[in-house]
Amino acid sequence: MLIAARRRAGSRGQGMRGSVVVLGAGMVGVSVALHLRRRGCDVVLVDRQGPGEGASFGNAGLIQREAVYPHAFPRTISELLRIARNNSVDAYYHPLALPSYASPLLRYWWHSEPARYAQIVLAWSELIRTCCDEHLALAKGTEAMELIRSVGFLRLYNDPVALEAAIAAAEVGKRDHAVGFDVLDGDGVAAAEPHLLVRRVGALNWTDPLSVTDPHGLTLAYCRQFLDAGGRFVLGDATTLAAQGAGWKVHTQEGPVEAARVVVALGAWAPKVTGPLGYSPPLFGKRGYHYHYGMQGNAVLNRPILDANAGFTLMPMRAGIRLTSGAEFAFTDGAKTPIQLERAEPLARRLLPLADRVEAEPWMGIRPCMPDMMPVIGPLPRRQSVWCAFGHGHQGLTLGPTTGRLVAEMMTGEVPFLDPAPYRPERF
């Protein structure tokens, strides 16, 4: 069945702003689709699986207003040696996969040079600045608000020197980017989280981030808004995208879908579709995992915590306490190797009275990362009817609605609410 996008929108008497197929129904694609639909575009959202079942399913659930400094490639010898030993919780690599990472990692290292990094922070922090507002603009007054909590994000330290350094860095973030935080001493940490099993010297409490108790549920809630507004979701394979007349066509389980314009919001898989169109950005994946746990007795965790020494995060979620891992460099489609979770679990059990794992198999997702740590947003250089919305790395949940608004404003001819130039595809 051909989806007659134009006819359907017209029959509802909506303002016609053109037909768009959004490829990929993660947090980014759903947000783009919703923003386009609200502006009167006739939108079909296509994914090979249900909405929010990629990286957007199982992330740490943080809407990270504090993340104004993107994850840089380590530049000190001691840090590089630590990672090279391959026995840490925060980073792990498959030696056989490293050659496939060589080129993007080299570029990542180059962009992480302090002067270049400082320029990147300026552009990146502009995206981050409004992330909570953009989520709340979609969520307020809807079922989505039941999933969003404002409880801060605690970064625990057991080394006073490291805590002092973190406070000094946080002061800079507050001065330059209005990032809110307060500092807790050991007693403050124990009062905030009374069921911690060990005492910490102190913590930074980021006060601005929002935490989501079910990131998959939030993606579904935004998707329901899109559907209620007259948008359409269909299962289909984005790699079947082909030019059709002046527009595009993609095969779906409901037949071919045609549209004048396409948005590629395929996360880690985006180059599979842009590559055949002549655009192969140096995107690389950082895989990550989670397990959920119950808590013993009546113990609770009140807010997300990050153990700064070990490098793992624990979040209270609807499904249990979620333990997430750091970055794994492996073949994108390779089998799961949750080694970092296995290293983190005993450390987490020393911190909190965790009970049994909720599920037998860990969840795995892939962070879609760019070497310059910034997403790719805008039309393809030589194919202006194909738009990019991918590469959000560690902060795709955070930035989905921001990117959604920016893309929709540009595609419908509005003045974008922030300067999109730093994220344009032609920088690669």
The residues in 25-84 that bind ligand FAD, with binding defined as CB under 6 A, are 25-29, 46-49, 53-56, 59-62, 64
Residue with tokens 């079942």: 53
**Kind and range of the H or E run holding 368:** strand 363-369
Spatial distance between the Cα atoms of 222 and 217, rounded to a whole number of angstroms: 9
| 3-class state of residue 166 by DSSP | helix
Interface pattern 351-380 for ligand FAD (x via CB under 6 A): --------------x-xx------------
Spatial distance between the Cα atoms of 51 and 210, rounded to a whole number of angstroms: 22
Q: For 289-342, give the secondary structure using H, E and C.
A: EEEEEEECCCCCCCCCEEECCCCEEEEEECCEEEEECCEEECCCCCCCCCHHHH
Query: Which part of the chain contacts ligand FAD (CB under 6 A), choosing from 78-86, 163-171, 393-401, 412-420?
Result: 393-401
Query: Which part of the chain contacts ligand FAD (CB under 6 A), choosing from 70-78, 94-102, 265-273, 376-384?
Result: 265-273
Q: Is 135 or 200 the residue whose CB approaches ligand FAD more closely?
A: 135
Is residue 288 near ligand FAD by the rule CB under 6 A? yes
Question: Tokens standing for 203?
Answer: 């913590």
Shortest Cβ 9–ligand FAD spacing (Å): 23
Shortest Cβ 230–ligand FAD spacing (Å): 22
Question: Tokens standing for 356?
Answer: 């049994």
Q: Crossing angle, helix 114-129 and helix 160-177, to 10 degrees?
A: 60
CB 69 within 8 A of CB 374: no
Question: Tokens standing for 321?
Answer: 């306490």
Shortest Cβ 186–ligand FAD spacing (Å): 26
Shortest Cβ 11–ligand FAD spacing (Å): 28
Shortest Cβ 136–ligand FAD spacing (Å): 15
Shortest Cβ 293–ligand FAD spacing (Å): 15
144 phi/psi in degrees, rounded to 5: -60, -30
Please select the residue that binds ligand FAD; options are 37, 249, 394, 405, rule is CB under 6 A. 394
Q: Is 29 or 217 the residue whose CB approaches ligand FAD more closely?
A: 29
Shortest Cβ 75–ligand FAD spacing (Å): 23
- Report the amino acid identity of residue 83: I
Interface pattern 290-309 for ligand FAD (x via CB under 6 A): x-------------------
Spell out a b/e string for 268-278, using b for 16 or more CB atoms within 10 Å of the CB, else e.
bbbbebbeebe
Please select the residue that binds ligand FAD; options are 224, 249, 261, 392, rule is CB under 6 A. 392
Q: Is 76 or 333 the residue whose CB approaches ligand FAD more closely?
A: 333
Is residue 324 near ligand FAD by the rule CB under 6 A? yes
Shortest Cβ 290–ligand FAD spacing (Å): 6
Interface pattern 233-262 for ligand FAD (x via CB under 6 A): ----xxx-----------------------
201 exposure class (CB count in 10 Å sphere: 0-12, 13-18, 19+): middle
Shortest Cβ 187–ligand FAD spacing (Å): 28
Please select the residue that binds ligand FAD; options are 73, 153, 269, 312, rule is CB under 6 A. 269
Residues that bind ligand FAD (rule: CB under 6 A) add up to a total of 41
Query: Which part of the chain contacts ligand FAD (CB under 6 A), choosing from 232-240, 293-301, 380-388, 405-413?
Result: 232-240
Shortest Cβ 225–ligand FAD spacing (Å): 16
Strand partners, 181: 206
Question: Tokens standing for 375?
Answer: 């997403």
**Kind and range of the H or E run holding 99:** helix 98-111
**All residues at 6 or more sequence positions from 383 whose CB lies less than 8 Å from its CB, including other chains:** 277, 278, 279
Is residue 403 near ligand FAD by the rule CB under 6 A? no
Q: What separation, in Å, do the N-terminal and C-terminal C-alpha atoms of the chain show? A: 38
Per DSSP, the residues of 370-387 read -TTS--EEEEETTEEEEE
Spatial distance between the Cα atoms of 415 and 99, rounded to a whole number of angstroms: 42
Q: Is 196 or 283 the residue whose CB approaches ligand FAD more closely?
A: 283
Shortest Cβ 49–ligand FAD spacing (Å): 5
Give me the residues that bind ligand FAD (CB under 6 A), please.
Answer: 24-29, 46-49, 53-56, 59-62, 64, 237-239, 265-269, 288, 290, 324, 365, 367-368, 390, 392-398
